[in-house]
Amino acid sequence: MNLIKTLVIGNSGSGKSWLAEQLATSLGSAWVDLDLLHWEPGGYNMPRKQEDVIAMAREAAAAERWVIEGIYGWIVSEILSAATALVWIDVDESECIENIRQRGMRRGGDAQSLAELLKWAKSYQSRTGSSSYGAHEAIFNSFRGQKACLKTRDQVTAFADSSI
């Protein structure tokens, strides 16, 4: 698989960041977390302007090599054509929730934001919008490059191991 410019999508807590870090390290490429583009510095309370986020994502995707990961389908759609590979981590919602509980809140989050994130992760299959299961499925199905859908933690680990 040509992983030079890889997008990793999936639910919150699915392991996107872990896999992206593994891939970026093995490829010697940049690792871009879309949370850091979407949210203003200091936490998850203030989103950036959509046009600023898209400009930053396009700038990151213009690089020679990268691994970009996130849940935001609206951002991914803006840079999908630049990708050589797409990985969708589609593990069960309950596993995502357990992963979030184990890691706790990141980047200045508090107990309330952790509770909201757990509720958000639990609604992946049922919610609508660009960060939903349905939106990720549509992105995956429309992508014409090399792609992989990973359904279990073992598959995610094996994919990372095979890319090293």
Query: Which residues of the chain, if any, have pLDDT below 70?
Result: 43-44, 107-109
The superfamily CATH assigns to domain 5-156 is: P-loop containing nucleotide triphosphate hydrolases (3.40.50.300)
pLDDT of residue 43: 65
pLDDT of residue 110: 77
pLDDT of residue 92: 96
Cα separation of 89 and 19, whole Å? Answer: 9
pLDDT of residue 45: 72
- Residue 66 in contact with residue 32, Cβ under 8 Å? yes
Residue showing tokens 């639910």:
11
Cβ neighbours of residue 79 closer than 8 Å, sequence gap 6 or more: 7, 57, 58, 60, 61, 68
Give the predicted TM-score (pTM) of the model. 0.94
Q: What are the boundaries of each domain within the chain?
A: 5-156
